Amino acid sequence: MFFQLLDDDLSFPDPALAEEDGLLAIGGDLSIERLVLAYYNGIFPWYNEGEPILWYSPHQRCIINPSHLKISKSLLKILKNNTFKITVNEAFEAVIKQCADMPRLGQDGTWISTDMQEAYIGLHQKGFAHSIEVWLNDCLVGGLYGVKINRVFCGESMFSLVSNASKVALAYLCENIDVDLIDCQLPNKHLISMGAEMIDRSLYMKILQS
């Protein structure tokens, strides 16, 4: 079953009560306070524009251990040649906008609505959300953003306008940001090919709250 959140109560139900697909609750808002509480409890919002806010906490979590990232020979060559310039938190708003505008295979639109963008820009301004930017000839060509809670980086989305740009951002995150775990939330072939694996939510929560 899933739960209706109250407007005047920021609390969430026990994530273990989430449905099989991870859906835990509906409603509430995207205030900074509610979002931070959600992430501290292994919960994240995911819904389409025009729908009520849906909150998820998957029973199995897709994660990347930074030390287990798989880097192909071609990507390693790109990294060694410094093909791209990489920055951190210099263009958060541009990164989230590009992630929202990036066409996704099998998707008609984006879940990164205007409200979502504004909410995460607010998290960024408070120091919770961070971006990694990938530049080529002074043009932003790739990047990712997410929320850092304790020693876990909760990745939200990434984009790439040229080949390998998002992979470069992920490699930089694994090698240069001091975290124990990168939370990918839900698996896809791209992430699995780079070393992502599934772990039980109980283990994820233990690492998140340590």
- Whole-number Cα distances in Å, 50 to 2, 27, 54, 55, 197: 19, 12, 12, 15, 32
Nearest to 31 by CA among 147, 122, 125: 122
Largest CA distance in the chain: 53
The CATH number of 3-59, from 3.30.565.10, 3.40.50.300, 2.40.128.110, 3.30.70.3550, is 3.30.70.3550
Do β-strands 54-56 and 85-88 pair in parallel, antiparallel, or remain unpaired?
Answer: unpaired
The tens place of each residue's pLDDT in the chain, 210 residues long, gives: 789 999 889 999 999 999 999 999 999 999 999 999 999 999 999 998 889 999 999 999 999 999 999 999 999 999 999 899 999 999 999 999 999 998 755 554 468 999 999 999 999 999 999 999 999 999 999 999 999 999 999 999 999 999 999 999 999 999 999 999 999 988 888 889 999 999 999 999 999 998
CATH number of 62-208: 3.40.630.70
* Its pTM surpasses 0.95: no
Q: What residues does each domain of the chain span?
A: 3-59, 62-208
Give exposure, 24-44, as e/b (b: 16+ Cβ within 10 Å).
Answer: bbeebebeeebbbebbbbbbb
Per the rule left: phi > 0, alpha: psi between -120 and 50, beta: everything else, 5 is: beta
Q: How long a stretch of residues is the chain?
A: 210
